[in-house]
Amino acid sequence: MIQMIILSLLLSLLFLPLQPVWWKMAYFRRWFPLRLAAGFIYGLILFYGGLLDQSATAIISAYIPVIGLGLIVDNTLVFMFVKTFRKQQASTGAAIGLVILVGFSVFWVLQPLFLAEAKFSMADGEEVTADEMEPVNEEHIPVVSRRYAEYRSDVLMGQLDNPAFYNLGSTRIQRVNESLYWITPIEYDGFFRWYRSNHAPGYIMVSAENPREEPELVLTEMTYVPSGFFHENLERHVRSQHPDVVMLDTTFEIDSEGNPYYIVSFGHYTEFRRVADVDGVIIVDPASGETEMFEKNEVPEWVNRVYPPHIAEERNDWFGIYKQGMVNRFFGREGLTQPTRWGDVDAVTGVVNEDLQLSWFTDHMRLQSEGQEASRSMVGFTMFDTRTGELRYFRDASGSLNGRTAMDLAERTFRRDDYIGGTPSLYNIYGQYTWVVPLMDRNNVHRQTMLVNARDENIYGYGESKREAFGAYQLELSSRVDDDVVPGEYTEMVELTAEVERVYKWDREDNVTVRILLEGEDRIFTVNASSYPRAVFIEPGDEISISFIDTGEAVQAIEELDY
């Protein structure tokens, strides 16, 4: 705070006139205190109100226009009130101010045209193949949308003593003790509610894996929050202790013991505040206000995200449109792509690997001209590591359905129910690129989970529970796909010999699916007659030997059949 006041006082000197006549005449000198006061107030607005970092580039950007405007105004007023002042002198002084203003404006507008290479280098995307896609534990694939989590959280707010005092903060997905949750902090609803409250009451946890799991309201006193005012405002509290850092993003997370923290990502700008990079995080205890700064390679393991979603979004944009420079961006357009817009809060969504490490995911479509109908297929997709900032581009998904198409298909399937699709995410499920789309009613209540094959929109499965959806999708895959349905990281191939108890043969237009119940087994086993033509002759009492992927689901596809 003291540094901010001293800096504002020093910079207020730039509000004093650069025209020498002002200093010679008593009439003009009477304005000096007012101009110094205006300069000091301007500094407070920038650094205290706007939380501007006190770095050289920030100060230059904020005060160059002040100098230019001051020269124009000062010379104009002197020319108007001092009869002996020559017009040429006034014009020269005002022209210098105008040149400063116009020159800075032109620089600010034109500079981005020369930053294509710098932005593409900062994105630093690496093209990889599906073989390098990290495996996923199907059990932990998130199927609960952000909107449903916000709905459940809003309902739970009614348990507070004074629910009208508070609002929900930003809902973010994170790993908590080997499970995924949507975590939402509770914030103040305006200045007067903050003034009348001693603290914010806590946060709400909603499972991202199971829509039927009951949400949990965790009551814990939080004083320093983003919706607080004056010294209790979280960002202002951090700015007072770290005046020079560039604060890029603030998110709420909890550690493995459920203790709440705010994570402030900080970094620096290059190319005169045009290109941002992340240097680390500042972890803030909202109860005590204690802060601790970590470089990005030293961030505690429980922190899910170092790189905020807006950084991932802009780097995806840069990676897609700045290949081969700015000229190719507007004229050649060779190999250019752009992220698919899903219309949700963020242009990227969080996906996890087998260790529940979070990455920002988005798919890319070919670059569209303004007004052109959006593409229905993707040319690839990216994974942006939230802790390291590594961007990987999976080009081998080219020609698959994009996320927008998967959402549309899911909504059309339930058109009669008027369900709406949540943000889709892409996983490698049973060896197939598969879109996972949550479906909600118009009140944002979760109703269905739908899995859509990215290569073939006619292959999909859905269910009210995750297990039902995965079972239906696996059955559809075994009936329609010629390729083997491969196990995930947490499944294994099981061999079984048993007597057939019951058989059901589903005769479709182009194929026959045989469903079998075996003695001593509760599960249903399915096989595609196109893969094993002799399967249509199986009858109760026959003994068969099968191999299948043990996913634990109620319906299991047979990989190998001996009959």
pLDDT at 373: 62
Band of pLDDT at residue 490, cut at 50, 70 and 90:
very low
Beta bridge partners of 498: 544
Residue 228 CA, chain-centre distance (Å), reads 24
Which is nearest to 138 in space by CA: 384, 489, 433, 536? Answer: 489
Contact yes or no for 441/416 (Cβ under 8 A): no
Residue 404 has pLDDT above 80, yes or no: yes
pLDDT at 3: 85
Task: Render pLDDT for 202-248 as a digit per residue (tens, 0 to 9).
Answer: 999 999 999 989 999 999 999 999 999 999 999 999 999 999 999 99
| pTM of structure | 0.82
Mean pLDDT of the chain: 88
The span from the CA of 513 to the CA of 500, in Å, is 16
Query: Three-state DSSP class for 536?
Result: helix
**Of the ranges 167-176, 216-225, 378-387, 480-489, which one carries the lowest mean pLDDT score?**
480-489
pLDDT at 43: 93
Band of pLDDT at residue 12, cut at 50, 70 and 90:
very high
pLDDT at 529: 80
| pLDDT mean over 174-190 | 93
Band of pLDDT at residue 388, cut at 50, 70 and 90:
very high
pLDDT at 302: 94
The span from the CA of 102 to the CA of 503, in Å, is 82
pLDDT at 488: 46
Which is nearest to 424 in space by CA: 355, 339, 483, 356? Answer: 339
Q: Which domains does the chain have, with CATH numbers?
A: 2-114 (no CATH), 145-306 (no CATH), 403-480 (no CATH), 492-562 (2.40.50.140)
pLDDT at 534: 87
Angle among Cα 261, 265, 269 to the nearest 5 degrees reads 165
Residue 515 CA, chain-centre distance (Å), reads 42
Which is nearest to 200 in space by CA: 215, 217, 180? Answer: 217
Radius of gyration (C-alpha) of the chain in whole angstroms: 30
| pLDDT mean over 195-208 | 93
pLDDT at 510: 57
pLDDT at 552: 67
Residues 6+ apart with CB under 8 A from 484: 431, 559
pLDDT at 551: 66
The span from the CA of 29 to the CA of 14, in Å, is 15
Residue 345 has pLDDT above 70, yes or no: no
Contact yes or no for 487/429 (Cβ under 8 A): no
- DSSP for 318-361, written as a single string: HHHH-TTHHHIIIII-TT-EEEPP-SSS-SSEEEE-TT--EEEE
Residues 6+ apart with CB under 8 A from 444: 145, 147, 148, 150, 151
Tokens for 274, please give them.
């045009």
Task: Render pLDDT for 72-116 as a digit per residue (tens, 0 to 9).
Answer: 998 888 888 777 777 778 888 899 999 999 999 999 999 988 999
